Amino acid sequence: MVRQSKTHLEIIVLLAAVAVVGLVLAPATNPVRAEKAGTALAKEAGVLDGMTFASELGPLGKPADLNDFLVFENGMFVSRECQRRCDYPPAPYLVRRAGEKTEFIIETHCPDKDSTIVWRGTVDDNAGTIKGVFTWTSARWYWTIEKEFWFEGTLAERLGAV
């Protein structure tokens, strides 16, 4: 009976430790807590809206092999090439300010396949450039394919700008 009580206590201590670790890591994974912790990562409609970047993309460590337009509009992001190839719809983007730059993260989903793309990048407001990496993941019943790519581009247009 004493051993059973000790095991029960060990489980409670373990759960408490997991909860504390979750609170420590929460700013990195939860936009609301990140903002409160001073690392604001939130959906701010309008921050990048109206921007379209003429971009090059390629596998990490290799030259560009594709041209694309990356579009931010109405709080959503879309890669025109991904939209053309797999009908990826626009997806909401999360941003945070880092000095004169805006960092973003976006997760897009292909409606026809079990594929996702997670985009991470930075827009340099002064230079009118975009740069980052994205990870394409495609789940199959027998394995999952994951590939990393880079992208960079320049502001092609700012809709509504004079």
Burial class (CB in 10 A: 0-12, 13-18, 19+), 158: middle
Number of domains in the chain: 2
Residue range 109-123: average pLDDT?
93
What's 110's domain CATH number? Answer: 2.40.128
62 in the same domain as 135: yes
DSSP H helices, the chain, are 2-29, 31-36, 80-86
Query: Does residue 66 sit in the same domain as residue 133?
Result: yes
* Range of the structural domain that residue 129 is part of: 51-158
pLDDT at residue 158, rounded to an integer:
59
Q: Is residue 45 part of a domain?
A: no
Q: Would you say residue 41 lies in a domain? A: no
- Looking at the fold, whether 26 and 84 belong to one and the same domain comes out as no
Whether 46 is in a domain gets the answer: no
For residue 44, is it within any domain? no
Q: Are residues 97 and 73 in the same domain?
A: yes
Residues 65, 130: one domain? Answer: yes
Asked if residue 42 belongs to a domain, the reply is: no
Average pLDDT over residues 114-128: 94
- Verify that 58 and 120 share a domain, yes or no: yes
My answer on whether 30 and 101 are in the same domain is: no
5 Cβ contact list (under 8 Å, min separation 6):
none
User: Do residue 99 and residue 146 come from a single domain?
Assistant: yes
Could you report the per-residue pLDDT of 19-65, keeping only the tens digit for each?
433 433 334 333 333 444 344 455 555 789 999 999 999 999 999 99
- E-state strands within 86-143: 91-98, 101-109, 115-124, 129-139
Same domain, 59 and 134: yes
Q: Give residue 72's identity as a one-letter amino acid code.
A: F
In this predicted structure, what is the pLDDT of residue 137? Answer: 95
